[in-house]
A and B are shown apart, each in its own frame.
Chain A
Amino acid sequence: AQSVSQHNHHVILSEAASLELGCNYSYGGTVNLFWYVQYPGQHLQLLLKYFSGDPLVKGIKGFEAEFIKSKFSFNLRKPSVQWSDTAEYFCAVLYNFNKFYFGSGTKLNVKP
């Protein structure tokens, strides 16, 4: 069965620090990749997505992610985090245009 792993469950950073959240997925054919974010008290919303083309994807609020097919990874990055980035981040994979699998989430706490 397909699976998505987020190894960092809880990350604490100071403002201006760089961020990288890991996401690895199991092999399962054609994949489309997503990062979703859930800010405190709000519902899940799309941060960025990769369907095809340039493996370096830029999303909202300065976030980017790189699809590395050989490593089955889609890590999320941001050069300089802000307090307002405090949220929970979910990696998701759509396999074969059929079913979505989500990772368990990473809680990011940015200290001002």
Chain B
Amino acid sequence: GAGVSQSPSNKVTEKGKDVELRCDPISGHTALYWYRQRLGQGLEFLIYFQGNSAPDKSGLPSDRFSAERTGESVSTLTIQRTQQEDSAVYLCASSPQSRETQYFGPGTRLLVL
């Protein structure tokens, strides 16, 4: 079956612009995670959605970052007024329940010039 998909695969933007990243989880997966991976570093948790519960936003680094999820489907991560330090790979993962194995998408490579 289809895995987690993310779009775009690459995004180059200018400092100060807004960007929107999209994640399509595996159908039926109730949990969805966003992570950031800076060059040479590990995965940094950003936000977690579980069903219709309020999302866990504790990992968002600033108020420029926000994310939404429509029901148990698509999620979008929005970064406003991008900064050069936002350059990273943004990974999305979904799982059938919060405690289950995560299935990762290919990531979106963001470069802020």
A residues contacting B by CB (< 8 A) are 4, 6, 32, 34, 36, 43-46, 49, 90, 92, 94, 97-105
Tell me whether chain A's interface is mostly helix, strand or loop, or mixed. strand
B residues contacting A by CB (< 8 A) are 33, 35, 41-45, 48, 56, 58, 91, 93, 98-99, 101-107
- In the complex, the answer to whether B104 meets A99 with C-beta atoms within 8 Å is no
Cα separation A107 to B50 with both chains bound (whole Å): 32
- In the complex, the answer to whether A99 meets B56 with C-beta atoms within 8 Å is yes
Q: Which residues of B contact A101 (CB under 8 A)?
A: 45
Q: Which residues of B contact A92 (CB under 8 A)?
A: 43
Residue in B closest to A101 when the chains form the complex, CB atoms: B45
- Using A92-B43, A100-B102 as known contacts, list a sample of 8 further A-B pairs with CB atoms less than 8 Å apart, ordered by residue number in A: A43-B105, A44-B91, A46-B102, A90-B43, A99-B45, A100-B45, A102-B44, A105-B42
Cα separation A76 to B35 with both chains bound (whole Å): 23
Cα separation A94 to B44 with both chains bound (whole Å): 14
Residue of A46, A97, A99, A105 touching B101 (CB-CB under 8 A): A46
Smallest CB separation, A7 vs chain B (Å): 13
- In the complex, the answer to whether B91 meets A49 with C-beta atoms within 8 Å is no
Cα separation A15 to B8 with both chains bound (whole Å): 37
